[in-house]
DNA sequence: ACGCCTACCTGCTTGC
DNA sequence: TGCAAGCAGGTAGGCG
């Protein structure tokens, strides 16, 4: 599932190939993909003629900055993918929005499960793009995301670590895969309460979050089923996971079988020896 | 603030 | 082999 490393990989690859391109037309094949503006025909009309200036990322969204200051956001959610296809490439049954570029290429938004959302916003004024991300927490790979900052945020919360790591208003970009990986690296149980962490544990968690995301990024993202980059290539990071989807397999640190529990309706993988259960928890 | 639920969706996997 | 149930999980919104 696309999380920060996957979305960042997509954004970087698009940044190397999209700036300067003119979006000649857009075909919306599944209307609900368009979050704003409505109706979708208006989106098509407004994006047409736009010229790509830069492609970046915020949280788990690909952000396309146009020359005129407007901004298109693409939230991939579960199965979304942005694919650059040559003109005349075979049609994709899961394409939800197709952007015709003036140079003949196509930028396709493919999304089997239709959870993905695309928006087109002014850079300033009403409905500006900043509002879209106003509720998101800090970017974990930004230099400003320090251990001290994480500590002060954790101190004020009593929720379980796993739940908090998935909360985009707490930290932006971490999803189920990297949450489990970060907690294993930090040797912290997913059910630990945030406000019970010692200073040393917070520092471990801070390093672990960043290391897990960086490793995912170095591998070009983790592909399990749907994730591919704009060239349709899968990433390599899934092969380096320490706990995610390794239920029953030996822990890389101590050899104990990895366990799977459900936290907040999400599959959660951890090592019962390296990540000791908090007081009062029998797991 | 927090946990828990439902809805949104489809396709792959599992079990009978 | 066929078919149905289970599962995957990011996010919004509602309730207590």
- Write out pLDDT tens, residues A21-47: 999 999 999 999 999 998 999 999 999
Between CA A197 and CA A163 the distance in angstroms is: 15
Give chain A's end-to-end CA distance (angstroms, integer): 27
Q: Please count the residues of chain A.
A: 283
The answer to whether some atom of strand C lies closer than 7 Å to the beta carbon of A60 is yes
* pLDDT beyond 90 at A111: yes
* Distance CA A19 to C1' B5 in A: 43
Which positions on strand B lie below 7 Å from a protein C-beta?
1-6, 8-12
Whether residue A251 contacts residue A274, with contact meaning beta carbons closer than 8 Å, is answered with yes
Between CA A278 and CA A74 the distance in angstroms is: 39
| Contacting residues for A236 by C-beta, under 8 A, at least 6 apart | A219, A220, A223
- Full strand arrangement of the beta sheet holding A34-36: A34-36, A117-121, A71-75, A61-66, A52-58
State the average pLDDT over residues A276-280: 82
Q: Which nucleotide is nearest to A93 (CA to C1')?
A: B10
Hunting for tokens 């979304």 — which residue is that?
Answer: A80
State the average pLDDT over residues A52-76: 95
Question: What ranges make up the beta strands (E) of chain A?
Answer: 23-28, 34-36, 52-58, 61-66, 71-75, 80-85, 95-101, 106-111, 117-121, 259-263, 266-270
| Contacting residues for A130 by C-beta, under 8 A, at least 6 apart | none
Whether residue A44 contacts residue A30, with contact meaning beta carbons closer than 8 Å, is answered with no
Nearest CA-CA partner of A222 in A230, A234, A210, A208 = A234
* pTM for this predicted structure: 0.95
Q: Active site residue: A13, A60, A192, A204, which one? A: A60
The answer to whether some atom of strand C lies closer than 7 Å to the beta carbon of A168 is yes
Q: Which nucleotide is nearest to A156 (CA to C1')?
A: B1
The answer to whether some atom of strand C lies closer than 7 Å to the beta carbon of A116 is no
Q: What is the mean pLDDT of chain A?
A: 92
User: Beta strand A61-66 with A52-58: parallel, antiparallel or unpaired?
Assistant: antiparallel
Q: What confidence category does residue A282 fall into, taking pLDDT thresholds of 50, 70 and 90?
A: low
Three-state secondary structure call for residue A90: coil
Q: Which nucleotide is nearest to A77 (CA to C1')?
A: C10
* Distance CA A186 to C1' C1 in A: 48
Whether residue A34 contacts residue A99, with contact meaning beta carbons closer than 8 Å, is answered with no
Residue closest to B4 C1′ by Cα: A264
Per-residue tokens: A167: 């909360």
Predicted pLDDT at A88: 81
Lowest mean pLDDT among A120-124, A140-144, A197-201: A120-124
Between CA A4 and CA A145 the distance in angstroms is: 15
Active-site residue flag, A266: yes
Percent pLDDT > 90 in chain A is: 77
């Amino acid at each position: 599932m696309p999380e920060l490393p996957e979305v960042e990989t997509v954004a970087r690859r698009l940044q190397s190939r999209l700036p300067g391109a003119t979006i000649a037309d857009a075909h919306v094949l599944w209307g609900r993909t368009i979050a704003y503006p409505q109706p979708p025909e208006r989106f098509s009309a407004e994006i047409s003629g736009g010229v790509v200036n830069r492609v970046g990322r915020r949280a788990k969204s690909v952000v396309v900055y146009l020359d005129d200051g407007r901004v298109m956001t693409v939230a991939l959610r579960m199965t979304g993918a942005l694919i650059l296809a040559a003109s005349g490439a075979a049609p994709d049954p899961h394409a939800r929005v197709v952007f015709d570029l003036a140079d003949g290429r196509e930028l396709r938004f493919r999304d089997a499960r239709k959870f993905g959302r695309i928006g087109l916003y002014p850079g300033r004024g009403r409905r500006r793009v900043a509002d879209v991300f106003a509720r998101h927490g800090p970017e974990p790979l930004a230099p400003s995301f320090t251990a001290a900052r994480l500590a002060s945020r954790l101190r004020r919360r009593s929720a379980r670590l796993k739940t908090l790591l998935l909360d985009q208003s707490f930290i932006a970009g971490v999803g189920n895969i990297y949450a489990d990986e970060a907690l294993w690296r930090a040797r912290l149980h997913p059910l630990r309460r945030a406000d019970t962490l010692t200073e040393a544990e917070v520092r471990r968690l801070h390093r672990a979050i960043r290391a897990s995301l960086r490793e995912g990024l170095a591998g070009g993202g983790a592909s399990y089923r749907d994730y591919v980059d704009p060239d349709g290539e899968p990433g390599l990071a899934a092969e380096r996971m320490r706990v995610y989807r390794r239920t029953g397999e030996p822990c890389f640190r101590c050899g104990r079988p990895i366990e799977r529990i459900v936290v907040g309706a999400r599959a959660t993988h951890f090592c019962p020896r390296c990540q000791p259960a908090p007081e009062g928890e029998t797991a």
